[in-house]
Chains A and B, each alone.
Chain A
Amino acid sequence: MARELLKGNEAIAEAAIRAGLQAYFGYPITPQTELLEWMAHRMPELGRAFVQAESELGAINMVYGAACTGARVMTSSSSPGISLMMEGLSYIAATEVPAVLVDVMRGGPGLGNIAPAQSDYNQMVHGGGHGDYHTIVLAPATIQEAIDLTVLAFDLAEKYRSIAVVLLDGSLGQMMEPAELPPMRPVRQTFPAWAATGAAGRERNVLTSIYLDPPKEEEANLRLLRRWQEIQANEVRFREYFMEDARFVVVGFGSAGRVALSAVRQARAEGIPVGLLRPISLSPFPTRQIAALCERAEAFLVVEMNAGQMLEDVRLAVNGKRPVEFYGRMGGVMPFPDEILGEIRRLAAGEASFEGHPRDRWLQRLTGSN
């Protein structure tokens, strides 16, 4: 299949369709709407299910219902809509049914704006819905990666009977880039044995998230946790750039990682031995890989389009062994490579610090430079 010029949101939609998507439920919200519109046009013509739901609450519960039949199902939204889906996500996780969610993040909190941001990291990676559950979260930095991770999300969701999230910011959803779509997979004709499809010739299947008996609920929690450990052991994904001899390490995901890569290239041209680690699976997080880097890295710089959400996971991985600095832009503002380059130069000049919290130091620099 040839490379073509594709818009992020549409590429994800088409990738999902080619991965054998059977049902899509969604609600319009910028900067994700083209995804829903693509589905509105493509799913019915392929004889598959599409519903524009009454709300994100409706959409996620339609996903929940369809997921209980074992069908390949997804929804997509953007930050405020994702907040509304948290109830359903907790239920889906607890019922152990597979589902895929695409979150094209925008500026927040509140209604915020429709510009690109990464401020849903916490609500996606660290839960958001009630109870102890984990979702697989994959963060693409290019449209090709968005396509590939969308397909992977379905496979992982089914393999682990888990929620898999593709998390990207609005700029990636909106921009166009050459990329290659996968071939069309046939839609699966069979349903898994656990699914609720009508009890013809078998015992009935009941899919629920309620365990009134606390020891049973604890058992369910343990089952989720063990599965999560398996995911942690097998599904960590990341990419490294210029890391062979790097003494300084930039960590950034998605678009922030991509901008950081430009800055790292410029810094390399200046002779600074800096590399980039771009986590692709934000959950499970490449904790061990980052921890291992402490052996040779002198300092870390975390770059995000939020106020330092992944920062806390990097700090946990580094565990005080090396100084960690932070640089972020918020509210829909994207960082420029120059700004990150300036931060890399600071690291190289030995200005990284152990004192206080990196967020406070960043704020100090931000307000100090005004």
Chain B
Amino acid sequence: MVVEQIVPEEIVYQRPRSLVECATHYCPGCTHGVAHRIIAEVIDEMGLREHTIGVASVGCSVFAYNYFDFDWVQAPHGRAPAMATGVKRVLPDRMVITYQGDGDMASIGMTEVVHAAARGENITVFFINNANYGMTGGQMAPTTLPGQKTTSSPHGRDVELAGYPIRASELLATLEGAAYVVRRSLHDPKNIRLAKKAVRTALEVQRQGLGFSMVEMLSICPTNWGMSPNQALQWLAEKMIPYYPVGDYRVSPSVAQLKV
């Protein structure tokens, strides 16, 4: 009898070492899980697991620290970049990442992220833009599109009353201290691969001490959008990308020379 053995070279897909083996609390189809996975893969590939400290934020990803198998701290709502600054300044040779939603980073925590970027703080922000406040049940976020219905904009975001969505990457890209600020999307495999590449570059930027880095990831919230995951992915592609174009918003000259 021939026993077939799977040799390591043949393994094409397995749980990254940096992810804990457990079920997450994310809703089915939610792209938080995709973002977690690509971040964990890159951390594994770069051999950073034992040198990384994550700063979790307040939002659906509040329990990110349960899913990543490295050291984490948990910030108050919006304050992750300040907390990350505290960690990084004491431990400059460690990798410090934040993982923040759009309500967390672009609303209550806008000051903290702007100043961390302006200081050129050597941290990496993973910014999950899902156009609403997921955890609290789908209220309007600073990223909610004009006309988009949420529980706190029940007739659709009225820009006369609620103003316009914030393009955080474009805004942060104006800051000299920001070395690498890009937007990617998680709505299909091609874009996910591009997002992973950006995660890699961002962490490389931090590893080499080149300044602040952020990867914005367009993400879905099927539960609060009231859609199936597939519909949500399509809505992201059709509605979000025109307002939030995928692209590189700041690549400082030193980052441009990076070979990743």
Contact residue among B62, B74, B94 (Cβ-Cβ distance under 8 Å from A198): B94
Secondary structure class of chain A's binding surface, majority of residues: mixed
Contact with B along A49-93 (1 / 0, CB 8 A): 101011101110111111111010100000000000001100100
Q: Which of B51-102 contact A (CB under 8 A)?
A: 51-53, 55-56, 62, 65-66, 69-76, 79, 82-91, 94
A49 near B83: Cβ-Cβ < 8 Å: no
**Bound Cα distance A51, B69 (Å):** 30
B82 near A61: Cβ-Cβ < 8 Å: yes
Binds B, one of A109-117, A151-159, A170-178, A204-212: A204-212
With A58-B82, A61-B82, A65-B55 known to touch, is A51 a contact of B71 (CB < 8 Å)?
Answer: no
With A25-B86, A49-B89, A66-B89 known to touch, is A196 a contact of B73 (CB < 8 Å)?
Answer: yes
B70 near A198: Cβ-Cβ < 8 Å: yes
Q: Quick check: is A193 within 8 A (CB to CB) of the other chain?
A: no
Measured between beta carbons, the chain A residues less than 8 angstroms from B149 are none
Number of interface residues of A (CB under 8 A): 39
Measured between beta carbons, the chain A residues less than 8 angstroms from B112 are 54, 57-58, 61
- From B114, which residue of chain A is reached at the shortest CB distance? A54
B51 near A206: Cβ-Cβ < 8 Å: no
Contact residue among A73, A87, A199 (Cβ-Cβ distance under 8 Å from B76): A87
**Bound Cα distance A66, B51 (Å):** 16
Measured between beta carbons, the chain B residues less than 8 angstroms from A200 are 50-51
Contact residue among B52, B79, B86 (Cβ-Cβ distance under 8 Å from A73): B86
With A61-B79, A65-B55 known to touch, is A204 a contact of B86 (CB < 8 Å)?
Answer: no
Contact residue among B71, B84, B94 (Cβ-Cβ distance under 8 Å from A204): B71
Contact residue among B53, B65, B66, B86 (Cβ-Cβ distance under 8 Å from A62): B86
Residue among A25, A88, A206, A207 with max Cβ neighbours from chain B (10 Å): A206
Q: Quick check: is B111 within 8 A (CB to CB) of the other chain?
A: yes
With A61-B79, A210-B62 known to touch, is A196 a contact of B86 (CB < 8 Å)?
Answer: no
Q: Quick check: is A353 within 8 A (CB to CB) of the other chain?
A: no
**Bound Cα distance A61, B58 (Å):** 14
Q: Quick check: is A229 within 8 A (CB to CB) of the other chain?
A: no
Measured between beta carbons, the chain A residues less than 8 angstroms from B89 are 23, 49, 51, 62, 66
A1: shortest Cβ distance to chain B, in Å?
Answer: 28
A65 near B94: Cβ-Cβ < 8 Å: no
A199 near B70: Cβ-Cβ < 8 Å: yes
Measured between beta carbons, the chain B residues less than 8 angstroms from A68 are 73, 83, 86-87
Measured between beta carbons, the chain A residues less than 8 angstroms from B76 are 61, 64, 87-88, 91
B72 near A204: Cβ-Cβ < 8 Å: yes
B69 near A204: Cβ-Cβ < 8 Å: yes
Q: Quick check: is B37 within 8 A (CB to CB) of the other chain?
A: no
- From B48, which residue of chain A is reached at the shortest CB distance? A198
A66 near B86: Cβ-Cβ < 8 Å: yes
Q: Quick check: is A122 within 8 A (CB to CB) of the other chain?
A: no
- From A67, which residue of chain B is reached at the shortest CB distance? B86
With A65-B55, A65-B82, A198-B53 known to touch, is A206 a contact of B111 (CB < 8 Å)?
Answer: no
Contact with B along A178-216 (1 / 0, CB 8 A): 000000000000000000111111001111111000000
Question: Sorted from nearest, which 8 A-B pairs have the closest CB atoms?
Answer: A65-B86, A61-B82, A65-B83, A54-B115, A208-B74, A62-B86, A66-B86, A49-B89
24 contacting pairs across A/B (C-beta < 8 A): A51-B89, A54-B82, A55-B111, A61-B79, A62-B85, A64-B83, A65-B55, A65-B75, A65-B84, A65-B87, A68-B86, A69-B86, A87-B79, A88-B76, A91-B76, A95-B73, A196-B87, A197-B71, A198-B50, A199-B70, A206-B65, A207-B73, A208-B73, A208-B74
Which A residues are within 8 Å of any B CB, using their own CB?
Answer: 22-23, 25, 49, 51, 53-55, 57-59, 61-69, 71, 73, 87-88, 91, 95, 196-201, 204-210
Which B residues are within 8 Å of any A CB, using their own CB?
Answer: 49-53, 55-56, 62, 65-66, 69-76, 79, 82-91, 94, 111-112, 114-115, 119
